[in-house]
Amino acid sequence: MEQIDLKNLLSAVDVPADWVGIREVSETHTPRIVRDGVPQMNASYTTQGLMIEVLSNGQFGYYGTPNMTNEGVSNAAQKAFTQAQLASKHAAFEFSEDARPANVGNYQSPFVKKKDSLSPGELNKILLDAYNHLKVSDKIVSARALLQTIQTMFRFVSSNGSDISQEFLMLEFDLSATAADGANQQTRTFGGMRGNCLQMGMEYFDKLELFAQSQKIGEQAIELLDADECPKGEMDLVIASDQMMLQIHESVGHALEVDRILGDERNYAGWSFVNLDDFGKLQYGSELMNITFDPTLSSEFASYAFDDGGLEATKEYLIKDGVLKRGLGGKESQIRSGVSGVANFRASSWNRAPIDRMANINLEPGESSFDDIISSVENGVYMESNRSWSIDDYRNKFQFGCEYAKLIENGKLTKTLKNPNYRGISNPFWNSLKMIGNNDTFSIYGTPNCGKGEPNQVIRVGHASPVCLFENIQVFGGA
């Protein structure tokens, strides 16, 4: 990629704006897929460009451009300035430079082995070997191994002195096996919905028991074909970490985004059951519930040092002992709402303006071991790995489906169950949290596909959680 001097570009901007910022993003993602023994994809996609933002009469205007010359940036700044001026007569809020705090610093993803330490040929071999272990029987009609590396370079300079550089190396890995007998079809994956997403280098493969993991996924897909349907009824529900991540994402993370609460998202992603005056008061969940915004957890997918508005990122409790304390709002939302927030003003790339997003939103571990949790349940279900998700526009009524479940009878895991689903309403659901797993049950996951915003943006988020027990939940099976 071409090297550019952002400070030089900033100095070329000549508009009478109150503030100017330039954000450069260069990103290469390299997906490789082997399905059914054959390469489906060996690709390397690169995007690079600049977002020029100006503030005039209290209104921000922006111009996203791939033209990274002095002339291109100067032209972009002029047009962004014109848009800001025209819009300022109808501005939703009058901002000052305070919305873009000045900061200087850098961040580098933790990794041991570089992205290129394994060649394309070696990576194809890893994926093919994984496929061969997924295909445990002829009843596996399709199996797939996927690896994607993402390398992102982010720089931000501004007229009030910000100079931030952040470099990320990320990795997504997934395994999937589908067993079928006519229209009876069951799919098992490695953590559900590409949940294995981390900031890490190629040392990932040194620790992964790839072949054993692949074989287990293939065997469980076969096992599900003849499994009993998940029972229907109100019962105790134990949720594994790879489903808890989705539960946290949909019924806590999105609900706490302050721009949603302020109504920005009502035409697309929706509103929230949380109101501004709930902060500091609302009993969001049981006293066991401690939710953090944690950009500092090493290797989690959305760790960083600064958000895209230049605000320094620190670990903060959003929910402490079940009580709502703080919102997912960046500097703009903090100014608009008066609610305490975090550094989560993020954009999907150079061609989108930042908005309030999740980053790493985690449920802090508790005291109970996995065995303690299971042995406490007389009649219930244990569910792993998300396969279906849906929640209303206020983040109240949710329904989630999982890939794999076990019946819990008299404190023991017994029969395997297929098509497990559960539904509930966010606030009473979290207040039914009865036991929370300890550090041994705590795992880090994430998702590359969180959608929100107008224009739409998809962004990467991390979620870490222990295993949890919820009581009296509506559970049911397939069609």
Partner 1 sequence: MEKIFNQLCEGFFSELENDESLTLSFAGENSQFIRINNASIRQTGLVDDANLGLKFISNNRTCEGSITVSGDYDIDLSRGKNEIIRMRSESKEILEDPFLVMPKNSGSSREIINANGLEFDRAVEALLPSMQGVDLVGIFANGKMFRGNANSLGQKHWFETESHCLDYSLVTPERQMVKGTYAGTDWDQQSYESYIKRSIEKLELMKRKPMRIETGAYRTWFEAKAVADFIDMFSWNGISEASLQQGCSGFGKMRHNDVRLSAKFSISEDFSSGLVPKFNSNGETGPDSLPIISNGILQNTLVSSRTSAEYGVSTNYAEDTEELRSPSMTPGDLNQEKVLSQLDKGLFLSNVHYLNWSDNPGGRITGLTRYACFWVEGGEIVAPIETMRFDDTFYRFFGTELESVGSKVEVIPDVLTYGQRNLGVVSCPGILTNEFQLTL
Contacts to partner 1 from residues 363-402, by CB under 8 A? 388-394, 396-397, 399, 401
Among 3, 16, 38, 138, binds partner 1 (CB under 8 A): 38
Q: What residues contact 92, with CB distance under 8 A and at least 6 apart?
A: none
Bridge partners of 363?
Answer: 291
User: Which CB sits closer to partner 1, 264 or 364?
Assistant: 264
Decide if residue 12 touches partner 1 (CB under 8 A).
no
Among 421, 427, 441, 443, binds partner 1 (CB under 8 A): 421
Least distance in Å: CB of 90 to partner 1?
Answer: 5
Least distance in Å: CB of 178 to partner 1?
Answer: 4
Q: Is 90 left (phi over 0), alpha (psi -120 to 50) or beta?
A: alpha
Q: Which residues of 333-365 are buried (b: 16+ CB within 10 A; e: fewer)?
A: bbbbbebebbbbbbbbbbbbbbbbbbbbbbbbb
Q: Are 248 and 442 in contact (CB under 8 A)?
A: no
Pairing of strands 468-476, 233-239: antiparallel
**How many Å is the maximal CA-CA distance in the chain?**
73
Q: Which stretch binds partner 1 (CB under 8 A): 34-42, 163-171, 372-380, 427-435?
A: 34-42
Alpha carbons 193 and 423: distance in angstroms, whole number? 19
User: Which CB sits closer to partner 1, 85 or 296?
Assistant: 85
Least distance in Å: CB of 102 to partner 1?
Answer: 22
Least distance in Å: CB of 76 to partner 1?
Answer: 8
Alpha carbons 225 and 308: distance in angstroms, whole number? 47
Question: Comparing C-alpha atoms, which of 134, 146, 147 is closest to residue 201?
Answer: 147
Per-residue x/- track, 347-366, partner 1 (CB under 8 A): ----xxx-x-----------
Q: Which stretch binds partner 1 (CB under 8 A): 16-24, 31-39, 106-114, 162-170?
A: 31-39
Among 96, 137, 184, 439, binds partner 1 (CB under 8 A): 184
Q: Are 146 and 32 in contact (CB under 8 A)?
A: yes
Decide if residue 3 touches partner 1 (CB under 8 A).
no
List the interface residues with partner 1, window 196-215 (CB under 8 A). none
Site size with partner 1, rule: CB under 8 A: 92
User: Which CB sits closer to partner 1, 224 or 319?
Assistant: 224
User: Which CB sits closer to partner 1, 151 or 303?
Assistant: 151
List the interface residues with partner 1, window 443-472 (CB under 8 A). 451, 454-458
Decide if residue 138 touches partner 1 (CB under 8 A).
no
Record the tokens describing residue 149, joined without a space: 């590396």
User: Which CB sits closer to partner 1, 296 or 396?
Assistant: 396
Decide if residue 64 touches partner 1 (CB under 8 A).
yes
Least distance in Å: CB of 45 to partner 1?
Answer: 4
Q: Which residues of 266-282 are buried (b: 16+ CB within 10 A; e: fewer)?
A: eeebbbbbbeeebbeeb
Alpha helices in 180-231 (DSSP H): 204-207, 210-225
Least distance in Å: CB of 416 to partner 1?
Answer: 17
Least distance in Å: CB of 13 to partner 1?
Answer: 15
Decide if residue 479 touches partner 1 (CB under 8 A).
yes
Decide if residue 119 touches partner 1 (CB under 8 A).
yes
Least distance in Å: CB of 73 to partner 1?
Answer: 12
Bridge partners of 282?
Answer: none
How far CA 361 is from CA of 66, 229, 273, 429, 464, in Å, comes to 32, 33, 19, 18, 7
User: Which CB sits closer to partner 1, 55 or 323?
Assistant: 55
Question: Comparing C-alpha atoms, which of 370, 380, 371 is closest to residue 406?
Answer: 380
Q: Are 380 and 470 in contact (CB under 8 A)?
A: no
Least distance in Å: CB of 372 to partner 1?
Answer: 31
Q: Considering only CA atoms, give the Rg of the chain.
A: 24
Least distance in Å: CB of 457 to partner 1?
Answer: 7
Decide if residue 112 touches partner 1 (CB under 8 A).
no
The 3-state DSSP class for residue 33 equals strand
Least distance in Å: CB of 463 to partner 1?
Answer: 18
List the interface residues with partner 1, window 241-280 (CB under 8 A). 262-264, 266-268, 270-271
Decide if residue 87 touches partner 1 (CB under 8 A).
yes
DSSP-derived secondary structure for 338-358 = -----S-EE-SSTTS--EE--
User: Which CB sits closer to partner 1, 251 or 443?
Assistant: 251
